[in-house]
Amino acid sequence: MANRFFNKTEDIVTESIEGLVASHPHLTRLDGFPQVKVVIDSDADSSRVALISGGGSGHEPAHAGYVGRGMLTAAVAGDVFASPPTEAVLAAIRAVTHAPGVLLIVKNYTGDRLNFGLAGEQARAEGYKVEMVVVGDDCALPHSRITGRRGIAGTVFVHKVAGAAAAAGHDLAAVLAAAQSAAQSVGSMGVATSVCTLPGAQPADPPRIGAGEMELGLGIHGEPGASKGPLLPVDAIVSQVLDRITSRETGYLDVQQGDRVALLVNSLGSTTPMEVSVVARAALIQLRDTHKVTVARVYAGAFMTSLDMAGFSLSLLLLDEARTAALQAPTQAPAWPASQGELPAEKALVPLPRGPEGGECSGRPESLTPFGEALERALLAVCGAVIAAAPELDALDSRIGDGDCGSTLKRGAEAIKTAVGTSLPLNDAGAALRKLATTLRMMLTWPHTSYMFNLWTYMSSVLLGAAEEGPSDETWGGVFGAAVAALLRYSGAAEGDRTMLDALIPAQKGFSSALQQGKRPAMALRRAADAAMEGAESTKSMAAAAGRSSYVPEALLRDVPDPGARAVAVWMGALAAVTS
């Protein structure tokens, strides 16, 4: 069974509705569980046309998430991927319809059309004023004279346009006309890398969409799409989807250069907000540069899902003055995003602020002093060792964290290698350190890595600074000690807490002790490297009291060295090797 959060399969829909209703003051429901699952707006204005939509569950936040002033008056839910019964739709009509009448907004699926249509006919027979609009916005499949296009995420645009018309006090005929116009002006298409799995069911084995594959044009119930092929980069996928929606051959949506549109970027369930933003970026760029249209509004998130499907859909709504105002109109519906206004044609980037060091550091000198050559050798040796150790460090980190220690340090090392070859003032220890600090602050996000790289930068200067241009051994020995003391002060950790300090502190003590005994820098560094390795190994048996490891059960830490401590041992060892 696919891993899901629910109590009983048979209760998942009703408990979901109960949770939604309990979370929003204006929502309530009809007392008809389990057969009648209807969410209504308890604050609805009886002098306005009522709007009802719905369909099978599993598409949340559709449809109940769009109940609220300015959108739907009621939403009727069926079981997962099952059309709601006629009696439930009829109950909703009776509950929310007053003298102005009701508009039913129905996605184009046979069950929904039949059940909503029959309920509407019965309601008319009882004296209610009822109209119905059917939305078929899917542009993936060829025209069909019988079934027509499927209704998918673009239906949400119709909810919003019709809801704004109703809230403005228009009569039923005008609200119907606004909804029909919006339905004829919207086109959508979806793509996925996996189909959905029903609650309580086993995922298909083998899966319909295999590893490295994608399916274009599939429906929101997992119906097979128009085509299947290898997974492409997002830019290429978005290009195919937009070309299909705006195709002159199908003529589904007549988008002309210079038109204004609203864009809906919809997660189909498992697609993360990060991925949705990547898709939105690609769509905005291509609509502007390739299709030559103006995107006046963009909405990105989960609007009409398909359980846990990994995929997205794009919807375009052609805008006129009325539809633009309708999208901007206020609504109480919890799933509709807050109004953000018109998108500007261009956005000016804010210049990056510079600290005191900006402009003080010259670039790489044309010729290096002996000190500059020594610093270059040290930096390149350490960077090479860190890059080589990245897979090992990631593997260690994946056992206690998110597995990015090595990858993050590798990015920092690669940035430093670039700086060494292009912009680092290697002959000036102070300027070089400032330049490195600037580079690393912009590159590193893993806890304490910027401190760690600054520390080994200080050390590389002193230990290889035997030339007259370099600082004295005593100076850099003091700097190393001061840097470790600062790290202790700001991190809140101490030796024995299972952090990088358990390698760094022994290394600093060993280095300072060797210098005090009159040892040469290379010998002092070897002693420091050995101490760092011993300290890193000792973390295998330590209980974590600081850092991310402190949140991990002790049993999972046993026999695993701290990744940060192991990284210290790596770069200390590299320095020892290059000086020897």
Higher pLDDT pick, 419 / 131: 131
Residue 448 has pLDDT above 80, yes or no: no
Distance CA 291, CA 299 (A): 19
Which 8-state DSSP code applies to residue 456? Answer: H
Higher pLDDT pick, 236 / 449: 236
CB atoms within 10 A of CB 53: 32
Residue 464 has pLDDT above 60, yes or no: no
Buried b or exposed e, range 332-359, using 16+ CB within 10 angstroms: bbbbbeeeeeeeeeeeeeeeeeeeeeee
For range 415-421, the mean pLDDT: 91
Residue 269 has pLDDT above 80, yes or no: yes
For range 561-575, the mean pLDDT: 92
Looking at residue 444, its pLDDT comes to: 57
Angle value at C-alpha 317, between 251 and 39, nearest 5 degrees: 120
Count of residues in the chain: 580
CB atoms within 10 A of CB 204: 12
Looking at residue 431, its pLDDT comes to: 75
Residue 146's pLDDT band (boundaries 50, 70, 90)?
A: low
- Identity of residue 580: S
Looking at residue 491, its pLDDT comes to: 73
For range 275-292, the mean pLDDT: 97
Q: For the chain, which domains are there?
A: 9-197+213-328 (3.40.50.10440), 370-579 (1.25.40.340)
Owner of token pair 């102070």: 430
Residue 359 has pLDDT above 50, yes or no: no
Looking at residue 461, its pLDDT comes to: 45
Looking at residue 451, its pLDDT comes to: 56
DSSP string for residues in 276-309: HHHHHHHHHHHHHHTS--EEEEEEEE-SS--TTB
Return the minimum-mean-pLDDT range out of 41-50, 237-246, 484-493, 502-511: 484-493
Residue 59's pLDDT band (boundaries 50, 70, 90)?
A: very high
Owner of token pair 């793509």: 191
Residue 352's pLDDT band (boundaries 50, 70, 90)?
A: confident
| Close Cβ partners of 53 (under 8 Å, ≥ 6 residues apart) | 63, 66, 72, 75, 76, 104, 105, 106, 155, 159
> Which phi and psi angles does 142 have, rounded to 5°?
-65, 165
> 371, 110 in Cβ contact below 8 A?
no
CA distances from 367 to 377, 380, 420, 425, 429 (A): 14, 17, 13, 10, 15
Higher pLDDT pick, 102 / 199: 102
Which percentage of the chain shows pLDDT scores above 90? Answer: 63
Distance CA 199, CA 137 (A): 27
CA distances from 391 to 198, 410, 517 (A): 37, 10, 38
Residue 402 has pLDDT above 80, yes or no: no
Residue 443's pLDDT band (boundaries 50, 70, 90)?
A: low
The residues annotated as belonging to the active site are 221
Residue 124 has pLDDT above 50, yes or no: yes
> 435, 424 in Cβ contact below 8 A?
yes
Residue 455 has pLDDT above 60, yes or no: no
Please state whether the predicted TM-score (pTM) of the whole model is above 0.75. yes
Residue 452 has pLDDT above 70, yes or no: no
Distance CA 191, CA 268 (A): 9
Helix, strand, coil share (%) of the chain residues, nearest 5: 45, 15, 40
Looking at residue 462, its pLDDT comes to: 43
Angle value at C-alpha 99, between 96 and 100, nearest 5 degrees: 85
Return the minimum-mean-pLDDT range out of 284-293, 513-522, 525-534: 513-522
Higher pLDDT pick, 126 / 540: 126
Residue 263, beta-bridge partner list: 298, 316
Looking at residue 301, its pLDDT comes to: 97
Looking at residue 19, its pLDDT comes to: 98
For all residues of the chain together, what is the average pLDDT?
Answer: 89
Give, for 104, the enclosing helix (H) or strand (E): strand 102-107
Sheet strands side by side (includes 186-194): 227-230, 213-216, 186-194, 310-318, 260-267, 294-301
Residue 465 has pLDDT above 70, yes or no: no
CA distances from 209 to 52, 218, 311 (A): 35, 11, 12
Distance CA 502, CA 515 (A): 21
Which 8-state DSSP code applies to residue 423? Answer: T
Residue 460 has pLDDT above 60, yes or no: no
Higher pLDDT pick, 173 / 427: 173
As a whole number of Å, the CA-based R_g of the chain is: 32
For range 301-322, the mean pLDDT: 97
Q: What are the DSSP E strand ranges found in 108-143?
A: 130-135
Residue 470 has pLDDT above 80, yes or no: no
Return the minimum-mean-pLDDT range out of 199-213, 250-264, 493-507, 536-550: 536-550
Residue 479's pLDDT band (boundaries 50, 70, 90)?
A: confident
Looking at residue 432, its pLDDT comes to: 78
For range 98-127, the mean pLDDT: 97
For range 551-562, the mean pLDDT: 80
User: Beta strand 50-57 with 102-107: parallel, antiparallel or unpaired?
Assistant: parallel
Sheet strands side by side (includes 102-107): 27-29, 38-41, 74-80, 50-57, 102-107, 130-135
